[in-house]
């Protein structure tokens, strides 16, 4: 067990939350080590519609051009269809970006890892954090790593960041208190199809189901359906197309002659939570500290937002304020996602919830627009 390097920060998890946090901290001159037990460039269970705030950040960070160069289609229109009644929203020209994007996760996460490496971070894949190290005062002071050959290594650092997702080892080992818990979790099935015209985001709703079409790389579309979690059994055994025909005819019509290109992936659902996300020698970012039902497609956008909040908190020496700031920005989105995940709405109720969600998103967007200035002022 040797100590080969001496980083300022160790980040556990190298996807959107971890890689973005590592990139920002390395750009600000910190020595950063990032580890992930996944293989480089792997996919993960997630659809991947980005909201405006995330696109603004990727643009500001210099990563958006690579997303576009990889053939990710621009999304300039979104359509909400409530029981067959469509509402179109123009997405161009807001917040300094003229479109939204939905890059595949293997692409987005890899681009953020590349940017972190370019900024000087060391990134080790196929290397897991087996345990945290604690000093005599109880503060986290490092990690015990294990690589794919089974070799273990202890590395010390004054700060360990858990960006290790919903089953975070870091959150578990520091006993991060749950500050708020949701009540509902919607189940989701999704897959990639070809042959669907790429016309922007399409969100379809008819009680008790929702679904959507997300245009993505290689001219494929990600199609998904969500249901209350106790009805997942049915969704697992039926094709998305057949379920859409039965439950969401407007979506089936939008899918037309879609050809399935991948198997269906099923997510059984999990209620949201907000966890205490900073403490002595540790912090949590992304799903490790905050999860909201995927039905509102906010997880990646929130992870990027919180990466910048956390990086700002660390470099300004104000770590203790990070959890409270994140909670203030997340509360409405968490509550609204939870209510929508119940799948018990009437169409007017759902429209009202979406209206509220839009207000919360705009408020978030305004804060995200100022995050780099917040850092510049503190520097």
Ligand X SMILES: Cc1cc2nc3c(=O)[nH]c(=O)nc-3n(C[C@H](O)[C@H](O)[C@H](O)COP(=O)(O)OP(=O)(O)OC[C@H]3O[C@@H](n4cnc5c(N)ncnc54)[C@H](O)[C@@H]3O)c2cc1C
Contact, 76 vs 89, CB < 8 A?
A: no
Q: Does 164 bind ligand X (CB under 6 A)?
A: yes
Nearer residue to ligand X within complex by CB, 13 or 142: 13
Q: Does 46 bind ligand X (CB under 6 A)?
A: yes
Count CA atoms within 13 Å of residue 254 on its CB side: 28
Q: Does 275 bind ligand X (CB under 6 A)?
A: no
Question: Strand 273-275 relative to strand 178-181: parallel, antiparallel, unpaired?
Answer: antiparallel
| Smallest separation (angstroms) from ligand X to the CB of 162 | 8
What share of residues in the chain are helix, strand, coil (percent, to 5)?
A: 40, 25, 35
Nearer residue to ligand X within complex by CB, 15 or 354: 15
Kindly tell me the burial class for residue 325, based on how many C-beta atoms sit within 10 Å of its own C-beta (0-12, 13-18, 19 or more): middle
Nearer residue to ligand X within complex by CB, 100 or 255: 100
292-331 binders of ligand X (CB under 6 A) = 294, 297-301, 303
| Smallest separation (angstroms) from ligand X to the CB of 18 | 6
**Contacts with ligand X, 105-144, as mask; x by CB under 6 A:** -----------------------xx---------------
Nearer residue to ligand X within complex by CB, 5 or 378: 5
Which residue, among 264, 183, 168, has the nearest Cα to 222 in the 3D structure?
A: 264
Give the residue, chosen from 13, 182, 215, 281, that forms a contact with ligand X under the rule CB under 6 A.
13
Give the residue, chosen from 7, 21, 22, 36, that forms a contact with ligand X under the rule CB under 6 A.
36
Kindly tell me the burial class for residue 108, based on how many C-beta atoms sit within 10 Å of its own C-beta (0-12, 13-18, 19 or more): buried
Give the residue, chosen from 23, 26, 37, 309, that forms a contact with ligand X under the rule CB under 6 A.
37
For residues 153-168, b (16+ Cβ closer than 10 Å) or e, as one string? bebbbebbbbbbbeeb
Number of residues that bind ligand X (CB under 6 A): 35
Nearer residue to ligand X within complex by CB, 22 or 137: 22
Structure-block tokens of residue 193: 């199809």
Give the residue, chosen from 26, 32, 33, 35, that forms a contact with ligand X under the rule CB under 6 A.
35
| Smallest separation (angstroms) from ligand X to the CB of 44 | 5
Which residue, among 191, 208, 212, 189, has the nearest Cα to 267 in the 3D structure?
A: 189
Give the residue, chosen from 10, 16, 25, 329, that forms a contact with ligand X under the rule CB under 6 A.
16
192-251 binders of ligand X (CB under 6 A) = none
Q: How far apart are CA 155 and CA 5, in angstroms?
A: 7
| Smallest separation (angstroms) from ligand X to the CB of 183 | 18
Q: Does 48 bind ligand X (CB under 6 A)?
A: yes
Three-class secondary structure of residue 352 per DSSP: helix
Structure-block tokens of residue 351: 């429209």
Q: Does 18 bind ligand X (CB under 6 A)?
A: yes
Q: Write down the residue that tokens 């208190």 correspond to.
A: 177
Orientation angle between helical segments 299-315 and 52-60, nearest 10 degrees: 50
| Smallest separation (angstroms) from ligand X to the CB of 319 | 18
Interaction site with ligand X (CB under 6 A): 12-18, 35-38, 44-49, 128-129, 163-165, 169, 188, 267, 286-288, 294, 297-301, 303
């Amino acid at each position: 067990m040797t100590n080969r390097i001496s980083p300022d920060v160790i980040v556990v998890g190298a996807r959107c939350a971890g890689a973005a946090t590592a990139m920002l901290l390395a750009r600000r001159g910190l020595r950063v080590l990032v580890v992930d037990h996944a293989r480089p460039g792997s996919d993960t269970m997630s659809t991947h519609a980005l909201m405006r705030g995330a696109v603004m950040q990727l643009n500001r960070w210099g990563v958006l051009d690579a997303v576009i160069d990889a053939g990710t289609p621009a999304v300039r229109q979104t359509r909400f269809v409530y029981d067959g009644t469509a509402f179109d929203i123009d997405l161009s020209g807001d917040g300094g970006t003229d479109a939204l994007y939905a890059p595949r996760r293997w692409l987005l996460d890899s681009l953020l890892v590349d940017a972190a490496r370019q900024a000087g971070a060391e990134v080790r894949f196929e290397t897991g954090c087996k345990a945290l190290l604690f000093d005599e005062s109880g503060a986290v002071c490092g990690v015990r790593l294990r690589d794919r050959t089974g070799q273990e290594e202890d590395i010390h650092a004054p700060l360990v960041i858990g960006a290790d997702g919903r089953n975070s080892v870091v959150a578990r080992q520091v006993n991060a208190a749950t500050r708020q818990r949701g009540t509902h979790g919607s189940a989701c099935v999704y897959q990639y199809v070809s042959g669907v015209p790429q016309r922007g985001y399409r969100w379809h709703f008819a009680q008790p189901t929702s679904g959507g079409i997300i245009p993505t790389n290689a001219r494929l579309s990600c199609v998904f359906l969500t249901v209350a979690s106790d009805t997942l059994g049915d969704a697992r055994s039926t094709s998305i197309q057949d379920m859409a025909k039965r439950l969401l005819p407007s979506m089936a019509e939008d899918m037309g002659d879609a050809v399935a290109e991948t198997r269906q992936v099923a997510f059984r659902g999990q209620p949201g939570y907000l966890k205490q996300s900073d403490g002595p020698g540790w912090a949590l970012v992304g799903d490790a500290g905050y999860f909201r039902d995927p039905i509102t497609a906010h997880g990646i956008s929130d992870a990027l937002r919180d990466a910048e909040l956390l990086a700002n908190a660390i470099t300004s020496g104000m770590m203790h304020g990070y959890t409270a700031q994140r909670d203030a920005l997340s509360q409405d989105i968490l509550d609204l996602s939870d209510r929508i995940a119940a799948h018990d709405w009437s169409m007017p109720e759902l429209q009202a919830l979406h209206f509220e969600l839009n207000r919360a998103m705009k408020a978030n967007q305004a804060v995200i627009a100022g995050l780099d200035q917040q850092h510049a002022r503190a520097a």
